Homo-oligomer: A and B are copies of this chain.
Amino acid sequence: MSVPTIKFYVREGLLPAGELTSPNQASYGETHVQRLRLIRALLDVGGLSVAAIREVILAIDDSGRPVHKVLGTVADRMVPRYDREPGAGIAEARGQVGALIAARGWRVHPESPAAEALAVALEALEEVGHGAFTEALDTYADAAERVARADLEYVAHHVAREELVESVVVGTVMGDAIFSALRRLAQTDASDRVFGGAR
């Protein structure tokens, strides 16, 4: 972790500046190190952009903001934004997403970035000629619910606001990477059992 990189993060507002003990000497404490580790995790493992990390960190640090708003901000920043020009397919996909949300009884805004991302993905599937993949959607949603419950259970261990918010951020971002890797492993296993050597 080079010094110029750290100063870059300070400039970008990801990291508070060190306390100046003299015009050319600054001291950094454990909180800085902790924050740096968080930045690297979000950047390397979570794949967030510096801009997204800045917003997430601003939300974490803004202690005046209600927790559920912070969580909303964090969730929104972590899904890549699509600005889709309105087409025929995306409208149908949005309908599909709305129906799923209703069927699940999820209390979520059907225009949230996550819902939109789902619609975009479903539309792309359709475009590519694999619209039938949505047969698996219920299984996916079941799995997502289970995982989300586990996430919440973990988060419930943390009571202090600061900890609570950070645990959600970390869990959400890292959880994606972890699940993705696990899915890949499970797929490899399943696939080997079916196609192993043959075909």
Contact = CB atoms under 8 A, between A and B. Distances in A.
B148 A189 contact: yes
Contact of A167 (B130, B153, B180): B130
Contact of A71 (B133, B144, B191): B191
- Each complex incorporates copies of this chain amounting to 2
A6 interface: no
Contact of A186 (B72, B112, B128, B141): B141
Interface of A is mostly: helix
A91 interface: no
A75 to B, nearest CB: 5
19 contacts: A37-B127, A47-B47, A75-B187, A115-B181, A115-B185, A117-B180, A121-B174, A124-B174, A133-B167, A136-B147, A136-B151, A139-B147, A144-B186, A145-B186, A148-B186, A152-B187, A152-B191, A168-B191, A179-B180
Contacts of A171: 130, 133
A179 B179 CA distance: 9
Nearest to A161: B199
Contact of A185 (B114, B121, B136, B184): B114
